């Protein structure tokens, strides 16, 4: 999925949310890659909320800007709370 439609959909659904960092890991192979491991307290505009652990994998270009991001999380807890309405 391209970033724009995904981020627009998430922003439209989101209310007050919070990210609590747990750890940041940098590639040991020399790749321009790092991961952020965190807890996401996702508040939704409809008043529901979902709390889940997540890992974002960031790949950077030569200028250090994010070139690609992969989001890794277990969808089961979120789907049991909010269903498929944001899929």
Determine the pLDDT at residue 1.
66
Q: Mean pLDDT throughout 74-81? A: 80
**The whole model's pTM is what?**
0.78
Contact 66, 59 (CB under 8 A): yes
What is the distance between the alpha carbons of residues 40 and 64, in angstroms, rounded to a whole number? 25
- The terminus-to-terminus CA distance of the chain in angstroms comes to 11
Segment (H or E) for 57? strand 49-60
Reduced to 3 states (helix: H, G, I; strand: E, B; else coil), residue 45 is: coil
The CATH number for 3-82, chosen from 3.90.1300.10, 3.10.450.50, 3.30.300.130, 3.10.20.30, is 3.10.450.50
The pLDDT tens digits of the residues spanning 19-71 come to 999 999 999 999 999 999 999 999 988 888 889 999 999 999 999 999 999 99
Reduced to 3 states (helix: H, G, I; strand: E, B; else coil), residue 30 is: coil
From the list 84, 74, 27, the residue with the least C-alpha distance to 52 is: 74
């Amino acid at each position: 999925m391209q970033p724009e439609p995904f981020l627009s959909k998430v922003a439209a659904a989101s209310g007050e949310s919070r990210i609590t960092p747990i750890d940041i890991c940098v590639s040991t192979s020399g790749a321009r890659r790092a991961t952020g491991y965190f807890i996401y307290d996702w508040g939704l505009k409809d008043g529901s909320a979902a709390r889940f652990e997540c890992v974002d994998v960031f790949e950077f270009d030569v200028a250090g800007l994010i070139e690609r991001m992969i989001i890794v999380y277990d969808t089961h807890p979120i789907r049991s709370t909010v269903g498929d309405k944001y899929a």
